[in-house]
Every structure is written in C-alpha cells, then in structure tokens.
Amino acid sequence: MFRVIRYSAVALLAALAGLWGLAWFSHAPGQSVGEAFAQRLAQIFGQDMALPAVEGGVQLPPGITLGGAFSLTRQDGVAVTEADYAGQWLLVYFGFTYCPDVCPTELGRMSDTIDALGPAGERLTPIFITIDPERDGAAQMADYVSRFHPRMQGLTGNAQQIAEVARRYRVYYAKSRTQNMTEYLMDHSSFIYLVDPIGRVRTLFRTDTSVEIMARTIANQLRSLTSS
Ligand code: NI
C-alpha cells in the first residue's frame, strides 16, 4: 500500500520534472521557463489554464500568487503604482485598443458586472492595461476607456513596464501580422482578474463566465473579506 503511494509519488515527480525539462527546451524567446511549463501543463489538462474552476472563477493553487508591484501611466498622464490602489478592489483586464472584438466584449462584460453588483460595485475599480504600448498612449487610452465605464481607468507604460506587469499577472501577449496587413494585431491571453485591496489576484474569470456568475462570485469575495 505505502509502496504503491511511494511509487506513484516518484512517478508523478518524474513526470513533472520531465515536463519542466520540456518547458526548458521549448520555451519561446522572451517567455520564461515557468510560463512555458504552465503552457505545457495547460496543454495536458485543458485548453485554458490548468486550474480548477470554483464558483465560475478560476481558483489559484496554493503557492501561486499573481499581481503585485507595477509602475504605469494613467490615462490622464499621471504616473501610478500599485500603492495608489491599496485598499481598493480592482477588476483588471489586459488588452489593446485596436482589438477588433475580444477586448471590447470583455470590457463591456466588466462594466455589466460592476452594474450588476449594484452598490457593492462601487467598491470595485475597473482597470484596462494595454499590452500594446507602442500605439496605446495615455490619450488613446483615455478616449477608449470612457466608452465602457465612467470610472474605468486605462493604464499604459513603456515596453519594459508593460512586460513587467504582464509577467506578474502571467499575461501572454505577442504581435501578430499577416503578410498583406500593414497594421498589426496582438495575440493575448484573456482573463478578467479580481484583485483584492492588497494587490493580490483573488480570482480569474474566463471569457465564458457569465456576468451573473462573475457578479455573484465577486459579491461573495467582497463579503468574505469584510467579515473576516
Ligand atoms: Ni483583445
């Protein structure tokens, strides 16, 4: 019995080590081994992130924390860091203003979720962070976010600042250009992040999560932290 458990544990460790090795050899330029490893895991366990869904959101496994420090520029040109958002709940989405469909849809869903929360929604600040800083300057961001929610903030930065915040949230993004296209598009991962008042990601929502379920999950999270 114990031997079986021991052998299973060894086999599992060996499999994970193998996967890590594979990630090491296969990670794309600019992608960390950790990201490649997560991608390999995701390929095995599902199309999306290999994390169990709880109450419509994606629960992060113990030991994995997303979020944290950043240094960016708000749509009004003011420099901001994570300290400016301390004590606030945030709904964060990463994308780009030239996105033809996914980004506008998700930002619309973010606004709908805040409205669906009623008075509790006022405790949430919606934030859109660009992964296309080359084209998305502060003025462009200001114009764009105003179309979705009166309180939505748009954050941009230089290439390095964007790479850093994307890394902390494990956001994948890359330029894509087809041959007869002069303009480029951006490939990017698409999650809505619920960030707590100390800047940690509490829940990730996939694009297939309904507004009702997102609102309910967020309401529960707000309540659980207030009562504890
Ligand atoms: Ni997009």
- State the distance from the centre of ligand 1 to the C-alpha of 154, rounded, in angstroms: 14
Domain residue spans of the chain: 1-46, 52-227
- State the distance from the centre of ligand 1 to the C-alpha of 7, rounded, in angstroms: 45
Please give the mean pLDDT across all residues of the chain. Answer: 84
CATH homologous superfamily of 52-227 equals Glutaredoxin (3.40.30.10)
Q: What pLDDT does residue 160 have? A: 98
36 has pLDDT over 70: no
* Assessment of whether the complete model's pTM goes beyond 0.85: no
- State the distance from the centre of ligand 1 to the C-alpha of 63, rounded, in angstroms: 29
- State the distance from the centre of ligand 1 to the C-alpha of 145, rounded, in angstroms: 14
Average pLDDT estimate for 81-107: 96
Query: 57: buried, middle or exposed (CB in 10 Å: 19+, 13-18, 0-12)?
Result: buried
47 has pLDDT over 50: no
Which one is predicted more confidently, 44 or 158?
A: 158
Q: What pLDDT does residue 29 have? A: 47
- State the distance from the centre of ligand 1 to the C-alpha of 135, rounded, in angstroms: 14
Q: What pLDDT does residue 63 have? A: 81
Using 50, 70 and 90 to split pLDDT, how confident is the model at 203? very high
Q: What pLDDT does residue 33 have? A: 55
**Distance between CA atoms of 34 and 25, rounded to whole angstroms?**
12
Average pLDDT estimate for 2-26: 58
Q: What pLDDT does residue 57 have? A: 75
- State the distance from the centre of ligand 1 to the C-alpha of 215, rounded, in angstroms: 22
136 has pLDDT over 90: yes
Average pLDDT estimate for 182-188: 89
Percentage of residues in the chain having pLDDT higher than 70: 73
Q: What pLDDT does residue 40 have? A: 56
Q: Which of 12-26, 101-115, 136-150, 211-225 has the lowest mean pLDDT?
A: 12-26
Q: What pLDDT does residue 177 have? A: 78
- State the distance from the centre of ligand 1 to the C-alpha of 15, rounded, in angstroms: 34
- State the distance from the centre of ligand 1 to the C-alpha of 101, rounded, in angstroms: 6
Q: What pLDDT does residue 46 have? A: 41
Q: What pLDDT does residue 5 have? A: 59
Asked whether the CA dihedral 187, 190, 196, 200 is positive or negative, the reply is negative
Q: Which of 10-19, 51-60, 66-75 has the lowest mean pLDDT?
A: 10-19
- State the distance from the centre of ligand 1 to the C-alpha of 47, rounded, in angstroms: 18
Nearby residues for ligand 1 (ion, Cβ within 5 Å): 95, 99, 102-103
β-partners of residue 205 are 192
Q: What pLDDT does residue 23 have? A: 55
